[in-house]
């Protein structure tokens, strides 16, 4: 049975707060096709506004990160429970930008994953990917997966998403070859399905996906959706990307 494809807009820290209301309003006017799950991940400051502006039946909400623990004296952190109660369904964890600029390790991502999975209804999107093209992606992916998923168990009905985002393809315009995507996704899916039920896992691709190249991924059976950065800031492009994945 094929799964509903998930297309996630990761706005990163690219939208000034004053512009968020307008962008959210433009997203709220889009009609997303049936058969895909479209998700918007604004920054934390815009999350409550997003929950008010968007119809959460048409479009799901996500956060770009979460704390590794749910409550306590952790200055500056954001509780997974609060993320859920604000209306979010998804949480991106371990994005390569957080690994690179904030020093996030696989061990920290593992703690965040545990904290997110402890909140009923919250779905983690764990990002993995090699830094340099062709430099032993298999070993990098296996190490990241083993670190992030150490001792993780899923309850019946719980879901998890992994996003394969090769760092060399993020924000660079470098388009990945079909064979490279297939190889990485098969590896990730194989790894996950040895530990979890195939019905509970989905693997997305991210890295310089745009309205022109999104259709390249639509017929790859091991690509369950996309994680989109730059092109998700333009509502029409994001809609085109969503539509392309159904072709």
Binding segment (CB under 6 A) for ligand 13P, from list 50-58, 110-118, 151-159, 206-214: 206-214
Known catalytic residues are: 95, 165
Q: Is 65 in the site for ligand 13P (CB under 6 A)?
A: no
What is the number of other CB atoms lying within 10 angstroms of the CB of residue 196? Answer: 17
d(CA 46, CA 23): 11
Task: Establish if 208 lies at the interface with ligand 13P (CB under 6 A).
Answer: yes
- Point out which span in 20-28, 32-40, 191-199, 228-236 binds ligand 13P (CB under 6 A): 228-236
Q: What residues contact 190, with CB distance under 8 A and at least 6 apart? A: none
| Minimal CB distance residue for ligand 13P | 229
Residue among 115 and 231 whose Cβ is closer to ligand 13P: 231
CA dihedral angle for residue 155, residue 8, residue 59, residue 123, rounded to 10 degrees? 10
The contact pattern for ligand 13P, residues 72-101, with x = CB under 6 A and - = no contact, is -----------------------x------
The SS3 call for residue 126 is strand
Name, in order, each residue with C-beta under 8 angstroms of 10's C-beta and a sequence gap of 6 or more: 41, 64, 92, 95, 206, 227, 228, 229, 232
The only residue of 116, 145, 192, 227 in contact with ligand 13P, by rule CB under 6 A: 227
DSSP 132: S
CB of 32 to ligand 13P, least distance (A): 19
Question: Under the rule (CB under 6 A), what is the footprint of ligand 13P?
Answer: 10, 95, 165, 170-171, 206-209, 227-231
């Amino acid at each position: 049975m094929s799964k509903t494809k998930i297309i996630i807009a990761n706005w990163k820290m690219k939208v000034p707060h004053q512009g968020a209301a307008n962008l959210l309003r433009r997203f709220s006017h889009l009609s997303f096709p049936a058969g895909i799950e479209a998700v918007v991940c604004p920054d934390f400051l815009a999350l409550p506004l997003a929950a008010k502006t968007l119809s959460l039946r048409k479009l799901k909400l996500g956060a770009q990160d979460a704390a590794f623990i749910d409550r306590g004296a952790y200055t500056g952190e954001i509780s997974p429970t609060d993320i859920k109660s604000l209306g979010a369904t998804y949480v991106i964890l371990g994005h390569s930008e957080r690994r690179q600029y904030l020093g996030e390790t696989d061990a920290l991502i593992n703690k965040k994953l545990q904290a997110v999975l402890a909140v009923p209804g919250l779905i983690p999107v764990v990002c993995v990917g090699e830094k340099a093209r062709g430099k032993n992606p298999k070993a990098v992916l296996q190490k990241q997966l083993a670190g992030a998923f150490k001792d993780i168990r899923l309850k019946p009905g719980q879901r998890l998403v992994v996003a394969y985002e090769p760092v060399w393809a993020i924000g660079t315009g470098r388009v990945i070859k079909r064979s490279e995507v297939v190889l990485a996704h098969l590896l990730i899916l194989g790894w996950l399905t040895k530990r979890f039920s195939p019905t509970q896992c989905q693997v997305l691709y991210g890295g310089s996906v745009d309205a022109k190249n999104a259709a390249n991924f639509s017929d790859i059976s091991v690509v369950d959706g996309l994680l989109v950065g730059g092109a998700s800031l333009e509502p029409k492009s994001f809609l085109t990307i969503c539509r392309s994945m159904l072709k």
